[in-house]
Amino acid sequence: MDFSGLKIPPKICKTPPVFTPLYQTPSTSSLPHKERVMPDTESPLPIIEANTHLLLPTVLPALLEAEAEYAKAFAKEQHAKSTRRAYQSGIRLFEDWCQDRGFLSLPALPQTISIFLSWGATQGVSVSTLGRRMAAIKYLHSMKGVEPPTQSELVKATLKGIRRSLGTAPLQKVALTVEKITHLIKDIPPTLRGKRDRALLLLGFAGAFRRSELVALTVQDFLETDQGLRVFIRHSKTDQEGQGQEIAIYQGRLRVVDALTTWREAGAITEGPLFRPLRKGGKVLDQALAAESVADIVKRYAGVAGFTPQEYAGHSLRAGFLTSAAENGASLFKMMEVSRHKSVDTLKGYIRRAELFKDHAGSKFL
């Protein structure tokens, strides 16, 4: 089996491995319009290392050390890169917070976690974000071989109290339905950047893509047919092990295929990432666009179209397709073919919202 994709140090030493610093992140501040580059897959973001060297002899035979490096590399891949980045962000915030107050961050006391969560709640941090920060702190302790303090009754009680006080209903971003996306693309200029953005918005909508899926697409993932495109999605939120999923993109009146062809020809893109950042001079970079830039692009054109930018995000494209499909009578299972949802209940929410006024109980007497 080929394990060449794993990130193994290039040479073997006879001393315990040196762990990668936690806070090295790629700089993207030089890109215009908040466009960010997807982290280079050849240089993965550093993650917290497990203390595997504590279980091994001080000096390892070369073969055993090489095998240990493989074990660590596999352990790194248990989480998606986006999850690892989220953990790093949460851990960085927690460690800085502890340092400012003189608390020990590792191992942290349950009282420390409880105060940290309470502080976040008073700063307006959402319950879901607090939950993600808890998961990051748990990950930090687990990977260092320390019992996570997040499991204590005090921490659980604190988080439960915050949920009861603040509520847990997520803030829903507005869906870019077919009517809105049609209005939105009318204002996109025929520049190089405009051609890319038009293709990105239309494909993101037509394929109900998550933003991470959209920026991960490469030219090799597409097969053109008479009716549109067949797209192979190599990884997704619901396919972390990379079995792959294929969906169809219908050409239709939005002319999605034409928009992609126009962008590829204008950007001279024949292989590699489909959506890429641009320099101010119009140079197309080789790297993939960062997932966060999808939200930037959606908000930018939502504002140009006269919508409120803060109400929209990258998820508005996915939600817009599903809402439009439900409004136009698409079956639940045909919607799932495109969206690749694992849960029927999640999709039912889109259908319910689309049909709130259909055959309303009070329509004949109110």
**Is 341 designated active site?**
yes
231: left (phi over 0), alpha (psi -120 to 50) or beta: beta
**Is 210 designated active site?**
yes
**Is 53 designated active site?**
no
The highest-confidence range among 149-158, 326-335, 349-358, by mean pLDDT, is: 149-158
107: left (phi over 0), alpha (psi -120 to 50) or beta: beta
pLDDT at 214 over 70: yes
274 — pLDDT class (breaks 50, 70, 90): very high
- Helix, strand or coil for residue 246? strand
- Helix, strand or coil for residue 273? strand
- Which residue matches tokens 């303090």? 149
- Which residue matches tokens 């006879």? 14
| Model pLDDT for residues 197-207, shown as the tens digit of each residue | 999 999 999 99
| pLDDT for the residue 226 | 87
**Is 315 designated active site?**
yes
Mean pLDDT of 290-316: 92
Selected catalytic residue, list 180, 210, 276, 299: 210
11 — pLDDT class (breaks 50, 70, 90): very low
Mean pLDDT of 124-141: 89
- Please tell me the distance from the alpha carbon of residue 239 to that of residue 232, in angstroms, as a whole number: 12
Instruction: Assess contact for 16 and 9: CB atoms under 8 A.
Output: no
346 — pLDDT class (breaks 50, 70, 90): confident
Closest CA to 202 of 143, 136, 133, 255: 255
| pLDDT for the residue 157 | 93
| pLDDT for the residue 251 | 85
108 — pLDDT class (breaks 50, 70, 90): very high
In this structure, of 38-52, 111-125, 264-278, 347-361, the range with the lowest mean pLDDT score is 38-52
| pLDDT for the residue 29 | 40
- Please tell me the distance from the alpha carbon of residue 72 to that of residue 47, in angstroms, as a whole number: 11
| Model pLDDT for residues 144-168, shown as the tens digit of each residue | 888 899 989 999 999 999 888 877 5
pTM (predicted TM-score): 0.63
| Model pLDDT for residues 29-87, shown as the tens digit of each residue | 444 445 666 554 433 434 444 444 444 454 556 667 667 776 766 666 666 666 778 88
Selected catalytic residue, list 180, 196, 299, 315: 315
Selected catalytic residue, list 141, 193, 318, 340: 318
Instruction: Assess contact for 98 and 108: CB atoms under 8 A.
Output: yes
| Model pLDDT for residues 218-237, shown as the tens digit of each residue | 999 999 998 889 999 987 66
- Which residue matches tokens 């595997």? 52
Q: Which helix (H) or strand (E) holds 231?
A: strand 228-233
* Structure tokens belonging to residue 253: 């009146």
Mean pLDDT of 115-131: 89
Mean pLDDT of 248-274: 93
β-pairing verdict for 228-233 and 222-224: antiparallel
Share the mean pLDDT of the chain: 80
Selected catalytic residue, list 81, 237, 255, 264: 237
- Please tell me the distance from the alpha carbon of residue 94 to that of residue 89, in angstroms, as a whole number: 9
% of the chain residues with pLDDT over 70: 75
**Is 87 designated active site?**
no
User: 43: exposed, middle or buried (C-beta count within 10 Å: 0-12, 13-18, 19+)?
Assistant: exposed
Mean pLDDT of 318-337: 89
Selected catalytic residue, list 87, 139, 301, 350: 350
pLDDT at 7 over 60: no
Closest CA to 162 of 112, 128, 205, 202: 128
Mean pLDDT of 316-336: 90
**Is 255 designated active site?**
no
9 — pLDDT class (breaks 50, 70, 90): very low
